[in-house]
Amino acid sequence: MFIFRRRKQKKAGSKPRVNEIPSKALEEIEKNDLTGSIETTVQFMKEMLGDSDDFSVKHFRIFGRFHAVLFYFSNITDKDRIDNEILKPLMYMPEHLLQREMSKQELITVLVEETLFDSQTNRANKLDQLVNVILRGETVIVIEGITEAIHVGTRKIEKRSIKSPETEQAILGPRESYIESIATNIALIRARLPTPDLCVKMTEIGRLTKSMVSICYIKGIANEKVIKEVEKRLSEIDIDAVLDIGYLEQFIEDNPFSPFPQTQATERPDKTVANLAEGRVAILVDGSPFALLVPVVFNQFYQTFDDYSSRFLMGSFARLARMLALVFSLIFPSLYVSFISFNPELLPTEFAVAVAGGRAGVPYPAVIEVLIIEIAMEVLREATVRMPKQVGGALSIVGVLVVGEAAVNAGLASPITVVVIALTSIGSFATPAYVAAFALRMLRFPILFLAGIFGLYGVVIGVIFIFNHMLSLKSFGVPYMSPVSPGDSQGLKDVIIRSPLWWMPKRPAFLQPTNRDRLGEVKNKVLQHSKVGNDQREEVQNGGSKRGHNGSGSDNLN
């Protein structure tokens, strides 16, 4: 339950019982301004934060004269910076100030602008703001007699190093992935988009966690309505803890009851940037190594980054294989059941009779048999996820083979069933997006039931049902099945095969981007292979260097 609900029941204006719950007291505080007195401030801070043993209060004298106090949390601040950038310059009066006379009011300005060696200094005079800022790892300097305080950014928290992505492997393509710190993540995005059009907006969501959430988009490409909608939906979230981007996703998605995901989470900054360039909006949250991309259409779920890094034949072929695997994972078991139980005349005669032989020992109908093995597979899969890596990999392969073989020999299943289920599982692994594969895994079961009742007719009805549902789904205003339906000729080039990059000069229309040109008009001509060789060399020799077109001529490759 939300802690703050009880607040409404208290009468306004009652004394803050600070020794109870600090955050509530902070919200109800009457006198929020910093008094000039260090003592009251110290006492206030100790009441607020003093219960934790890592809260430090350091008294010292500025320039040997003024009494001041430092407030900080020792675990989240950088001790070196406090020592060198704050205490050292403050305790030691610099040369150029030796002769200056200053009043207390000027002192603050002098300190901020001329003394402190830090680039992240700010001034504040509200107590609650100061408390918040201390909690974020900054150091607050309160000076006797001055009603403003300085707070310096000294946050230091251990981070993971940037490694390769774990859930989205790419064979060709960059190997950086996000980490938990939002600052680093935004840095990774900014490094790839050194354009003023990239806009990063920050908000705070979550009463307890106060997580920093950032919305990134490219101005001039992303659609204004989508941006506004994203901001609106995020602002309506009121929850106590936001621990992961998944929490946000569940609040902002269009249809929480649909098995299909309407946002896409990605670990890769390069994929994020590619999507931003198409007109999508990325949402990042501090503490989560995933970025959320909206709006989303279904065919994104079987595209990988590899498709675009590789040549178009390779990419198209891989994509076709993936689509086939997707279809397999959805309807293969149901097709098997409907062929065996309802329409064996579809199979070639010899095969049909042989399959009948395989099934002769199994005591229950094909539907039940398939269901049992499917459920066993699902349980097995969950188990392998929990296992530590060394044991897990072996278990899955051995599990399928051995368990399947044993089941056949025990008469629990027929050999064909095991083959079918194995192919289905492999098919579902082939879908790159874990969430979408999950959706299809779940949907396999209702279709299986329908197949068990109606045969092939049931499979068709189930498929129609699923398609209709997908067709009526919208993600932030974009129909889920674009660009197939409603059709969009540019988008279609990317659905089944991956058209060569030079065939896709415009961005897909379903995102309704403001600016649709992807490729420039003149420059991107395919290499005219007949002219490669002597002709090209001639052009270079004649001084026709065409490299100057690329914007910045600087070679600042950092």
Partner 1 sequence: MSLNKHRWRQILLLLIIMSLLTGCWDSREIEKRATILAIGIDNAEHNAKNEEDEVNHLKGANQIPNERMIELTVQMAIPGRIPLGPQIGAGDKSPVLVIQAVGHTIEDALLNIQQEVATEIFLGHLRLIILNEEVARAGVGRFTDYLRRNPQIRRTASLVISKEKASEYMNIKPELERVPSLYLAEMVDSLVQLGKFPPTFIGMFWSILSSKGQEPYLPYFKIKGKANIQINGLAYFKGDKMVGKTKPLQIGGFMAGIGAEKGGYALFIKIPDLEQAVLVRAVERKTRVKASMKNGKPHILLKVRYECEIEEVESVNPSNIKAEDLQILEKNFSSEATRALETLIVETQEVKSDIFGFGEHFRAKLPNYWNNQVKTKENWQDIYQNLAYDVEIKTKIRRTGMKAK
Partner 2 sequence: MEDPKEVTTVQAATTLISTIIGVGVLPLPLFAVRAGDTGAPFITLLGIGIAAFGLFVVTKLGLRHSDKTIITYSEDILGKWLGRFFSLFVIVFFSILTALAAREFGAVVITAVLLETPLEVTVIVMLLLAAISARNTMNTFAYIHNFYIPIILAPVLIIVALSLKNANFLYVRPFISSGLHDSFFGALTIAALFQGSFIMTLIIPSMKNPKSAMKAGWWAIFISGGLYLLLVLATVAIFGAEEIKRLYWPTLELARTTSLPGNILQRLDVIFISVWVIAVFTTIFASYFLTIHSVKQLFRLQDHKMLAYFMLPFIFILAMLPQNIVQLYDVIKIAGRAGLIVTILYPMLLYIIDAMKSKRRKKGESKQA
Asked if 481 interacts with partner 2 (CB under 8 A), we say: yes
* 239/416 with CB nearer partner 1: 416
E strand map for 109-166 = 121-124, 138-143, 149-153
464 binds partner 1 (CB under 8 A): no
Rounded CA-CA distance 248/205 in Å is 9
Among 487, 517, 535, 549, binds partner 2 (CB under 8 A): 487
Give the integer Cα–Cα distance in Å for 129 and 483.
Answer: 48
Q: What are phi and psi of 191, to 5 degrees?
A: -60, -30
- Residue 441 contact among partner 1, partner 2, none, beta carbon within 5 to 8 Å by kind: none
Among 268, 319, 359, 444, binds partner 1 (CB under 8 A): 359
- Member of 326, 430, 484, 495 binding partner 2 (CB under 8 A): 484
Nearest partner of 441 among 452, 427, 462, judged by Cα: 427
Choosing from 157, 354, 368, 464, the residue that interacts with partner 2 (CB under 8 A) is: 464
Alpha-carbon torsion angle 41, 46, 48, 54, nearest 10: 130
Residue 435 in contact with partner 2, rule: CB under 8 A: no
Residue with tokens 């249809």: 255
* CB of residue 347 to partner 1, shortest distance in Å: 9
- Residue 185, exposed/middle/buried by CB under 10 A (0-12, 13-18, 19+)? buried
Q: Which stretch binds partner 2 (CB under 8 A): 408-416, 454-462, 508-516, 539-547?
A: 454-462
Longest dimension (CA), the chain: 106
CB under 8 A: which stretch of 304-312, 368-376, 441-449, 458-466 binds partner 2?
458-466
Q: What angle do CA 139, 144, 147 make, to 5 degrees?
A: 75
Residue 487 contacts which entry, partner 1, partner 2, none (Cβ below 5-8 A, type-dependent): partner 2
What residue 456 binds from partner 2, partner 1, none (CB within 5 to 8 A, per partner kind)? partner 2
Q: How far is the CB of 442 from partner 2 (least distance, A)?
A: 19
Q: Of the candidates 198, 212, 176, 202, which has an alpha carbon nearest to the alpha carbon of residue 280?
A: 198
333-372 positions binding partner 2, by CB under 8 A: 342-343, 345-349
Complex with partner 1: residue 205 or 366, whichever CB lies closer: 366
H helix count then E strand count, the chain: 22, 12
Residue 466, interface with partner 1 (CB under 8 A)? no
The option from partner 1, partner 2, none interacting with 468 (CB < 5 to 8 A, set by class) reads: partner 2
Sequence-separated (6 or more) residues with CB below 8 Å from residue 166 = 177, 267
Sign of CA dihedral 27, 31, 34, 39: negative
Contacts of 375 (CB under 8 A, 6+ apart): none
> Per rule CB under 8 A, is residue 351 in the interface with partner 1?
yes
Which positions touch partner 1 (CB under 8 A)?
A: 340-345, 349-360, 365-367, 452-455
Which positions touch partner 2 (CB under 8 A)?
A: 342-343, 345-349, 454-457, 459-461, 464-465, 467-468, 471-472, 479, 481, 484-487
